[in-house]
Amino acid sequence: MAAPADARTLPYSWYGDEAILREERTRIFARCWQYGGRAAQVAAAGSFLATDAGGVPIVVTRDREGELRAFLNVCRHRGAVLTEGCGERATLQCHYHAWTYELDGRLRSAPRSEREPGFDNEEWSLLPACVGTWGPFLFVSPDPDAVPLADHLGDLPGILARAIDVDAIEFHSRVEFGAEANWKIVVENFLECYHCPTAHPGFSAEVDVHPDRYGLEAHPTFAAQFAQAKRSGERGQFHLLYPNTGINVFPGPPNLSIGPIAPHGPYRTQRYLDYFFAPGVEAEWLTEFFAFDDQVGREDTALVESVQRGMASGLLPNGRLLLGSEPLLAAFQGWLAEQLR
Ligand code: FES
Ligand SMILES: [Fe+2]
């Protein structure tokens, strides 16, 4: 008997193709909410944060009236990335020819523009984007007409609240890493624990990965996984907020990591995770936690890079999902196909 239609993986040709990535950039990354950093980075009036939404440079500002805004972080003069990093500043000045913008995006001054007949500052404001916060987390969308962030989050804050109070955790550190694999391979690897018994012996010794007790739930805008520690019974949650925000809460003292899974070309994924913990978590536990997390991360990197090389052989059109164990891959692929249609 043939496999059901939705049990086919996406075509392998989608995982190493410039044209598909261009479509994903315009139809997904230029339109969707993505994790952009910490709300605390733009808490003060007069602060800014340069961030990135799947390759689209975005700058978030808090103007002197306290209003939070986001713009395409691209100078209207000749297209330089306008600003980098974060901090407090009265205006945003381009490093190339010193065009200077107000924190509300209006062009304040452009050197020598008074010599140009008909030059009108009003016409050269930064392009607006969207910004929103959820607890300590900041999200951006390059689309100025994006749905409200709360609509995109849907039931996720309520579900996550069963595992952790996001308003009671403190930022600890950011860890950056990457893999030589298409971003969708990295996302799909994150969406199942079918590989856990084989590929993550340390994780599977601690966490119950039996299919009857490891929960998988597809929601309209996110995919949720629920796990339990074998010994303590403490609960963890792992979420992918479409298209590319990963959120991890491991069983144990209050901990959370969050960050984007972003394409850097068809064969390269760049990631970072912002780690948050409850105040006063023991240093010894933290050391063990990071060692454990790093071990699982290295195992996953080896897996996704292997998938990239295997797919690139070019002799197989696609693979076969096990819908009982990989329903979140089917859900993600369905969502993706919908966006790209
Ligand atoms: S590109 Fe920004 S001032 Fe010229
Ligand atoms: Fe894994």
Please write the tens of the pLDDT for every residue from 241-257: 999 999 999 999 999 99
Helix residue ranges, H only, 86-178 = 149-153, 156-161
Q: How far is the CA of 264 from the centre of ligand 1 (A)?
A: 25
- The residue nearest atom 3 of ligand 1, judged by CA position, is 97
Q: Best of 81, 97, 116, 126 to mutate for ligand 1, by most ligand atoms within 8 A of CB?
A: 97
Dist. CA 285–CA 296, nearest whole Å? 17
Query: Span 259-269, mean pLDDT?
Result: 97
The CB-based long-range contact list for 329-334 (8 Å cut-off, 24+ gap) reads 329/9, 329/188, 329/191, 329/192, 330/6, 330/7, 330/218, 331/218, 331/223, 332/187, 332/188, 332/191, 332/223, 332/240, 332/242, 333/9, 333/10, 334/6
Which amino acids bring their CB within 6 angstroms of ligand 1? Answer: 75, 77-78, 80, 94, 96-99
Tokens 């709360």 belong to which residue? 150
326: β partners: none
Q: How far is the CA of 295 from the centre of ligand 1 (A)?
A: 44
Average pLDDT of the chain is 96
Ligand nearest to the CA of 301: 2
CA distances from 114 to 80, 92, 109, 122 (A): 22, 20, 9, 14
Q: Are 60 and 47 in contact (CB under 8 A)?
A: no
The minimum-distance atom of ligand 1 relative to the CA of 75 is: 2
- The residue nearest atom 4 of ligand 1, judged by CA position, is 97
Ligand nearest to the CA of 248: 2
Residue at 117: amino acid letter? P
Q: How far is the CA of 100 from the centre of ligand 1 (A)?
A: 9
Tokens (6 digits) for 87: 């901090």
pLDDT band for position 240 (cuts 50, 70, 90): very high
- The residue nearest atom 1 of ligand 1, judged by CA position, is 78
Q: What are phi and psi of 306, to 5 degrees?
A: -65, -45
Check residue 32 and give its pLDDT: 97
Ligand nearest to the CA of 188: 2
Q: Are 118 and 11 in contact (CB under 8 A)?
A: no
Query: Span 61-81, mean pLDDT?
Result: 97
Q: How far is the CA of 115 from the centre of ligand 1 (A)?
A: 17
Rg (CA), the chain: 22
Ligand nearest to the CA of 195: 2
Check residue 6 and give its pLDDT: 80
The minimum-distance atom of ligand 1 relative to the CA of 110 is: 3
Q: Any idea which of 2-11, 35-44, 283-292 has the lowest mean pLDDT?
A: 2-11
Cα angle 2, 181, 185; round to 5: 35
Check residue 341 and give its pLDDT: 85
Q: Is the dihedral of CA 294, 295, 298, 299 positive or negative?
A: negative
Q: Is the dihedral of CA 151, 26, 238, 320 positive or negative?
A: positive
Q: Which residues contact 263 (CB under 8 A, 6 or more apart)?
A: 21, 24, 25, 29, 54, 55, 182, 183, 269, 270
Dist. CA 162–CA 239, nearest whole Å? 13
The minimum-distance atom of ligand 1 relative to the CA of 78 is: 1
Residue 116 has pLDDT above 70, yes or no: yes
274: β partners: 174, 258
Q: How far is the CA of 81 from the centre of ligand 1 (A)?
A: 8
Q: How far is the CA of 53 from the centre of ligand 1 (A)?
A: 21
Q: Best of 93, 94, 125 to mutate for ligand 1, by most ligand atoms within 8 A of CB?
A: 94
Dist. CA 265–CA 158, nearest whole Å? 35
The minimum-distance atom of ligand 1 relative to the CA of 94 is: 2
Residue at 248: amino acid letter? N
Task: Record the pTM.
Answer: 0.96
Q: How far is the CA of 202 from the centre of ligand 2 (A)?
A: 11
